[in-house]
Amino acid sequence: MKHVALALLSAAALLVLPAMAADEFNVDDLEHLPIKLSNGTTVEVIKYNDHLWRIIDVAVLMGDDNNDPDVCFEGKFEMVQQSKLKLRGLNASFNPKNPQAKWASIVIDDRIKHRAQSAQTDLKNGTNVWICGTLRRPEPGVKGLDLIAVDVRKLAPDLDRYKAALAKMVAKPAKPQEFLDLGAKIEVQLKNDSDIIANIEQFEELKLLAKSAYEEGARRKEAEVRADDADAWYEVLVIWRDKVQKKTKAREILLEKVLKINPDHRQGAEDATALGFVKFRGTWMTRERQKEIEEADARQIQQDKQAKDEETIRKIAEKTRAIAEREVLLVRSQADLHAAGPATRNQAIGALGDAIQRSPDADFGRAAVLLLANLDAKAPVAAALGSAAKSALPEVRCEAVEALAWRGSQLADAQAYGAVAATLLAEQDVAVAKSEIAAVLAADPKAGVDVLIKGMAAKDSTVRSEILDNLKTTTQQSFATAEEWDAWWKQNRDRFNPK
């Protein structure tokens, strides 16, 4: 029980002494109240027989402050010495020969003395008792106080009382710290109470009870912790590991959680290191797991290299085959392009554009683009050159865009400029984009501005930047957004005259 100081309580009305019952008294069932003192401090009192008693530690009796006289506390009965009650571990009065010895002066009157002596068979040495009474200074200037006992009540044995307290806490929405405090209280008694230490069976039961209290406290604390609070999770880990002694949970679940939230958590990192874990690529793991990852990475590198080598060999083979077939394909394509029927000719135009796009042979691509550029048809050729401009080969894309720009200028082919704009939107090679921009501006600056404004939506940022620079240079304007350029161009296109 937590011992604190209390507000000023009147000692004027001492209670009529009740008969001291031999049966056990449950002080935990009495009403416990918080009281706020005039200095703002909140303390705890017990209501007993319609009176309030502040809860203290017996150390209060060794002081000299009796301003709050009505008090109560717990102890272990040892014996009655004349008119004083002696508790286990405490002298009944100050011993000048041994000033370091703990003492507490608990004065009992004849009625309490008689009842205590007649109940020796019940109040054995070591029996838990609850005492309430009033503090009194024995002599002016003397340090130390007498407690004039009003009542002495027998409490249940420690084990029974702790069991009842834990059951009561579990049944109500008790806070995690209440369980942890109970576990700590039991632990202290296990270390210091000679009777419990000597009773192996009781010792083990209390040990298990403390563990149960810690475990319930750990569960409830765990339920309250924020998902991203590494320090709070580590506190829970310590309870599970050191108090509940479930080290597997602490190691495999909670330590992993702490270090996942904060890989640099100092205490978590120390624990992980002590367990043989290593920090690898920002994550804590066993050395075995690190080795597995490194071996998997090595295998992946080897597989990637092999796949890359195979892809290179495949491309070389394809290019070799394309080069071997170049002349035959060009002759056949030229024949198809001059076929008598327009449907056959249009089909051949589209097929040649697709062939240019797929071919790994740059010489075939350039020659085929030249065949398309010199045809007099408009729509099918613009579409075919647009397909050719999607070639994976930069030089072929440049050749196709130059052909489109030339046809747009010389043949007034609007679809050719549309194909150039589409090519710029997809272009990701800034060097190729520069060549494409230069080609369309050289063919027709006004149409080139049309294309560049549409190209402001290009996927690649460096290409967009190149387009913007050329727009500013060509128009001598300094707009930043596509919307600004579009609005200005709608008002000024007809009278635009590039220098």
Mean pLDDT over 176-200 rounds to 90
Would you state the pLDDT for residue 499? Answer: 67
Would you state the pLDDT for residue 311? Answer: 94
Dist. CA 449–CA 494, nearest whole Å: 12
Dist. CA 396–CA 377, nearest whole Å: 21
Mean pLDDT over 41-57 rounds to 89
Residue 353 buriedness (CB in 10 A; 0-12 / 13-18 / 19+): buried
**Lowest-confidence range among 62-66, 422-426, 441-445?**
62-66
Average pLDDT, the chain: 87
Q: What is the DSSP letter of 226?
A: -
Each residue's pLDDT tens digit, 372-390 = 999 887 779 999 999 999 9
pLDDT of residue 232 exceeding 60: yes
Would you state the pLDDT for residue 11? Answer: 27
Residue 280 buriedness (CB in 10 A; 0-12 / 13-18 / 19+): middle
Q: What is the DSSP letter of 498?
A: -
Using DSSP, state whether 261 is helix, strand or coil: helix
Each residue's pLDDT tens digit, 324-370 = 999 999 999 988 888 768 888 899 999 999 999 999 999 999 999 99
Each residue's pLDDT tens digit, 389-436 = 999 999 999 999 999 999 999 988 889 999 999 999 999 999 999 999
Tell me the pLDDT band of 441, cut-offs 50, 70 and 90: very high
Which comes out higher in pLDDT, residue 461 or 97?
461
Alpha helices in 64-157 (DSSP H): 110-118
Dist. CA 385–CA 439, nearest whole Å: 15
Tell me the pLDDT band of 3, cut-offs 50, 70 and 90: very low
Phi-psi region of 108 (alpha: psi -120 to 50; beta: other; left: phi over 0): beta
Q: Which amino acid is at 132?
A: C
Helix (H) or strand (E) holding 399: helix 394-410
